[in-house]
Amino acid sequence: MAKLYINEKNKKGHINSEIYGHFSEHLGRCIYEGLYVGEDSDIPNTHGMRNDVVAALKEMEIPVLRWPGGCFADEYHWKDGIGPKEKRKKMINTHWGGVVEDNSFGTHEFFELCEQLGCKTYINGNVGSGTVQEMSEWVEYMTFEGVSPMAELRKKNGHEKPWKIDFFGVGNENWGCGGNMTPEYYANLYRRYQTYVRVYNPDKPIFKICGGPNVADYTWTGDVLKTAFYNVPGEAHGLMDGLSLHYYVHPEGWELKGSATEFDKKVWYKTLAKAKYIEELIQKHGTIMDVYDPEKKIGLIVDEWGTWFTCEPGTNPGFLYQQNTMRDALVAGVTLDIFNRHCDRVKMANIAQLVNVLQSVILTEGPRMLLTPTYHVFHMYKHHQDAELLDSCLDGAETIGEEEDYMVPNLSESVSLGKDGMITITLNNLSAEAASDMDIAFAQLKPAEVKASILTQEMHAHNTFQDPEKVKEQEFTAFTTDAEGIHCVIPPCSVLSFRVKA
Ligand code: AHR
């Protein structure tokens, strides 16, 4: 029997909506086919954006979208993607599958997409192969309101008013595909490039993100902060507002990765243990950040995370297309619980990637679309967005697993209070086979109005175009309430969400 204690009177921090953010790169079928099909497509679209995908993402309440990469960002030259489409440069996407990139999706299309989605914008600039002038002109093109060469160019291309950049990344993985730089070298470039990410309208500040570490590269974090962290007296955040972190879960390591759909229980637990490892990364990188920024003014921005398996057999290996099972759902659930619990430092996170690439929430095949188990988790967790984290403590969790190095607690949770006065409790049962009895107790609240939904199936279950609704969120009624709280049995391999009127 496990017991979850919730002190609904003790608010621990604010959960930024952007923790539930997403990432779309010019990679495989994410942008082209997945999101953008062009105005002339037979697939129903609005200004080229798929209506079915946009509607599903709005329902999921996507808060922010990162674009154009990834590794692609440090090879992207934004001027190739503006102006009449027939005149846009065609190029080979050397990073991802060697296919022709016709640049028909560019700056205007990205802002159109975000407008349709009603989400914030996160642009990733090019430091690896781009100039300071190129980056500075892009920001001018997107955001300058008055008379200037780039503002004129934007107007000539049909957009009179400037857009709003909410987040701007100064390079991507500059320790690797973004230029193979040393931390000191990148940090100096960061200082220089970010200077020209000008905020032309003080009412529309741009949140600047410095390129952070890969996984456990604590040296990168320390060395970059040593050079690039600079707290300007009187200014809230100095030269940066955020530092990124990238972490992918490969059950069999970077080389082998492992199948997305064929795995045994040993690999199930190994995958979940590797997902839980992100908590250690947040704590350790966070401790280094605390040295420079004890007030936690800058955010840890986990702008790439999720599972990365061996690509689906028979597909282009450069397209990173993979299926999505209940295992992905649990990875998403435990990771989002961790982000919620560390919302004092984690200010944004962007799962990789939105459609048809890595741990996607949506898969498409021609005109068809399906929602993955990961989609349903984001849908169930959406109530945590912009809510206050509540104090909670889980007692009685068991340690489970099949290998000493990859043991996990059988349960994971996070609890928040929304602006609508509802408490959201999310719970994951990581066990592949055992149900868990659960009591939920509050400090004072006697729960009266309670609703719940659940995602549960056997561990390999996934949605296919033949059976697109095998795994889906369902109403959960197998619980009781009394003066002591809520009582239920959480089925194995499940993600559960309670909504309780406070
Ligand atoms: O998400 C796929 C790739 O993973 C991104 O392009 C890159 O930033 C990371 O290595």
Burial class (CB in 10 A: 0-12, 13-18, 19+), 231: middle
Residue with CA nearest ligand 1 atom 5:
70
With CA atoms as reference, report the closest residue to 351 among 15, 16, 18, 14. Answer: 18
* Cα 429 to ligand 1 centre (Å): 30
pLDDT in tens, 2-13: 999 999 999 999
DSSP 398: P
Q: Give residue 230's pLDDT.
A: 76
Residue with CA nearest ligand 1 atom 8:
70
pLDDT in tens, 229-276: 876 655 656 899 999 999 999 999 999 999 999 999 999 999 999 999
Query: Are 455 and 429 contacting, i.e. CB atoms less than 8 angstroms apart?
Result: no
Tokens standing for residue 68? 């154009």
Beta-ladder partners of 99: 93
Task: Please state whether the predicted TM-score (pTM) of the whole model is above 0.75.
Answer: yes
pLDDT in tens, the chain (502 residues): 999 999 999 999 999 999 999 999 999 999 999 999 999 999 999 999 999 999 999 999 999 999 999 999 999 999 999 999 999 999 999 899 999 999 999 999 999 999 999 999 999 999 999 999 999 999 999 999 999 999 999 999 999 999 999 999 999 999 999 999 999 999 999 999 999 999 999 999 999 999 999 999 999 999 999 999 876 655 656 899 999 999 999 999 999 999 999 999 999 999 999 999 999 999 999 999 999 999 999 999 999 999 999 999 999 999 999 999 999 999 999 999 999 999 999 999 999 999 999 999 999 999 999 999 999 999 999 999 999 999 999 999 999 999 999 999 999 999 999 999 999 999 999 999 999 999 999 999 999 999 999 999 999 999 999 999 999 999 999 999 999 999 999 999 999 999 999 9
With CA atoms as reference, report the closest residue to 137 among 84, 75, 79. Answer: 79
* Cα 27 to ligand 1 centre (Å): 9
Q: Ligand 1 site: residues with CB under 6 angstroms?
A: 25, 69-71, 172-173, 304, 352-353, 358
Residue with CA nearest ligand 1 atom 9:
70
Q: Give residue 238's pLDDT.
A: 80
**Best mutation site among 71, 75, 175, 250 for ligand 1 pocket (most ligand atoms within 8 Å of CB):** 71
Report residue 391: phi and psi, to 5°: -65, 125
Which amino acid is it at 276? K
List active site positions: 173, 304
Q: Give residue 236's pLDDT.
A: 55
Rounded CA-CA distance 113/123 in Å is 13
Residue with CA nearest ligand 1 atom 6:
70
Give CA torsion, residues 396, 402, 405, 410, to 10 deg: -20
For tokens 């939920």, the residue is: 440
With CA atoms as reference, report the closest residue to 125 among 107, 145, 113. Answer: 107
* Cα 233 to ligand 1 centre (Å): 35
Query: Are 217 and 175 contacting, i.e. CB atoms less than 8 angstroms apart?
Result: yes
